[in-house]
Chain A
Amino acid sequence: MNTRLLIDWTRCEARGLCIELVPEVLTADDWGYPLSRHGDVTLPIPAPAIRYAEEAVRECPRLALRLIED
């Protein structure tokens, strides 16, 4: 089972909060939008980072984030 971060790209406005909270998974692209640091666009979240990802979901100013399990 994997926990993944799902970004609603129609909402995200590159405020970068998620990038600060989950730097092991995300980095910024040339315009400040979250980009997978390791190239996997499905954004799997390693166990130790899950609680920070949950915080990003709660705090994203655009309510653009969700965590899914698959």
Chain B
Amino acid sequence: MAPVHGLLSAAVDTYAAHQALLGPLPGLHAEDLRRRIADSGLTGRGGAGFPAARKLAAVAERGGGVVVANGAEGEPASSKDRTLLMAAPHLVLDGLALAARAVGAKSAYLYAPDDVLAASIEPALKQRRDRIKVIPLASADTFISGQETAVVAAIHGLRAVPMQTPPPMYVKGVRGKPTLVQNVETLAQIALIARYGAGWFRDHGTADEPGSRLLTISGSVQAPDVYEVPGGTTLGDALSWAGGASEPLQAVLVGGYHGRWIPWTSATTGLALSKAALAPYDAGPGAGVIIALPQRRCGLEAAASIATYLAGQNAGQCGPCRNGLPTIADHLNDLARGRNAVKAHNEALRLIGSVDGRGACHHPGGSARMVRSALGTFRQEVELHVKGKCTGQHGPGRATA
């Protein structure tokens, strides 16, 4: 049986067709499975890019755990998990069953928006007879509902908001048991790696970003959509997959709403979507979100509208996040509209420095660093706004969403 070329070429609607295309689940033992995943170099596709094998090992070591497939995808600019769950539910469910085997888990959950569960996951589960019973659970439509401790809270029947750690999830998660929360794309990759091997996986992508990855490309491109690209693809090539820019660009937001603004120049189009290449920009591939910002739009205004959204998505639990993020967003909005611009800029910078690490989850730091990167990448715009000018088509005071 010839290997498929990647996640999205394994898209079929019935379990019979899925098995005909990919063959049955390989009968690897837990240890062999974990070794294969370690050799592949697979990293998490949910945002942080942590090596999958290390998380598996930590839960396997303790035994009797719980595995959770995370398909919440609270990020508004991302739709790759939805695309994958709708197109290839059996690939994700294979990955979940394999991860459960690899860590010796006793229960498994699939956490995703209710319409995705109804349209794809529940029908798929009816066609399968997995050794482990998979419990589907609807995720809330909020930015933070997919943060891993919020996922555990949801499984406990509580509101899906983050909980304070330590202890880490691999020690104490669902019902106090060692818990593995893995993004659905990471699990789908495990389903292919288990079948075709680490070498097959490494044939795609680069040495430091092996395998393929899903990107959601939006903004000013010809064909905004989800694309599966080789790891380490350059920013320029990534945009070419989406048909190229639809008008002159000034910057791209890499990594989604918690990502970083990178200026669009002949030099940055050659940057690889890898942790190493993006490190000078304090950026990373994240969950594979790229938003192309056109030249005609004011970058400060674009960042301010995202900051306002993020501020409204704080779970209201932690003082520095609840107070800090809305205030940072207010200052950025003032700066974007040219109101008290010098003070707004200084105050925004001061607060950005103070919220990082002061909450139960990474929402304050992720949000603040997106704003900081905007102030750096759009610094010419900052200078103009201080003088009451703006290069955006609308100018200060006429900002549009």
Contacts and interface: CB of A to CB of B under 8 A. Distances in A.
Interface of A: 6-14, 29-31, 33, 35, 39, 41-42, 68
A41 B357 contact: yes
A33 B358 contact: yes
Contacts of A30: 323, 327, 351
Contact of B319 (A9, A39, A42): A9
B180 interface: no
A10 B163 contact: yes
A33 B319 contact: yes
Nearest to B357: A41
Contact of B358 (A11, A35, A68): A35
B358 A41 contact: yes
Please report whether the interface of chain B is mostly helix, strand, loop or mixed according to DSSP. loop
A9 B321 contact: yes
Nearest to A7: B358
A7 B358 CA distance: 8
Contact of A9 (B318, B327, B353): B318
Contacts of A10: 162-164, 317-318, 360
Given A12-B319, A35-B320, A42-B357, 14 more contacts: A8-B164, A9-B164, A9-B317, A9-B359, A10-B163, A11-B164, A13-B319, A29-B320, A29-B323, A31-B320, A31-B323, A39-B353, A41-B356, A41-B357
Contact of A35 (B166, B321, B354, B359): B354
Contacts of B358: 7, 9, 33, 35, 41
Contacts, number: 47
12 contacts: A6-B166, A9-B317, A9-B320, A9-B321, A10-B164, A10-B318, A12-B319, A29-B324, A31-B320, A33-B320, A33-B358, A68-B166
Interface of B: 162-164, 166, 317-321, 323-324, 327, 351, 353-354, 356-360
A31 B326 CA distance: 13
A43 to B, nearest CB: 10
B343 to A, nearest CB: 14
Contacts of A29: 320, 323-324, 354
Nearest to A12: B319
B286 to A, nearest CB: 22
Contacts of A42: 357
Contacts of B321: 9
Nearest to B318: A9
A6 B358 CA distance: 10
Contacts of A41: 356-358
Contacts of B163: 10
Nearest to B319: A33
Contacts of B357: 41-42
Q: Considering residues A7, A10, A39, which has the most beta carbons from chain B within 10 angstroms of its beta carbon?
A: A10
B322 to A, nearest CB: 9
Nearest to A32: B319
A52 to B, nearest CB: 21
A67 B95 CA distance: 39
